[in-house]
Amino acid sequence: MNELIDTTEMYLRTIYELEEEGVVPLRARIAERLAQSGPTVSQTVGRMERDGLVIVADDRHLELTEQGRNLAIAVMRKHRLAERLLVDIIGLEWEHVHSEACRWEHVMSEAV
């Protein structure tokens, strides 16, 4: 996965989740979900656009490029695998699973 930084992975996953929920991905929604400032989100989205991961449409919503979507799917897959492992094998209580899976998804290799 080209050694993406954790922040980029979180943004890709957030955009993908918003799409799955039927919510238009906007910078303001990413800022809200990730508890980050507007300028921080704008800077990161700008970098992601430069790197060919997202397109900022005329109406300002974000669209994943094919590369961005493929990377987002890979991040989501790792996140969901981590959730299953934490619940099914380790026995972690569900209310703690999401935040822990967020940590694990960034350290899993492509072999998983």
**Using an 8 Å Cβ cutoff, are 53 and 71 in contact?**
yes
89 within domain boundaries = no
List the domain range (segments joined by +) for residue 67: 6-71
Say whether 96 sits in a helix, a strand or coil. helix
Structure tokens at 67: 């590369």
Q: What integer pLDDT is reported at residue 19 of this predicted model? A: 96
Instruction: Encode the chain (112 residues) as per-residue pLDDT tens digits.
Output: 444 568 999 999 999 999 999 999 999 999 999 999 999 999 999 999 999 999 999 999 999 999 999 999 999 999 899 999 999 999 999 999 988 888 888 788 777 7
Amino acid at 3: E
Residue with tokens 């918003």: 18
What CATH number corresponds to the domain at position 20? 1.10.10.10
The pLDDT of residue 112 is 76
The two three-digit tokens of residue 43, written as one number: 């800077």
pTM of the model: 0.81
Report the distance separating Cα 73 and Cα 53, nearest Å.
Answer: 12
In a domain, 109, yes or no: no
Phi-psi region of 62 (alpha: psi -120 to 50; beta: other; left: phi over 0): beta
For 19-43, write each residue's pLDDT tens digit: 999 999 999 999 999 999 999 999 9
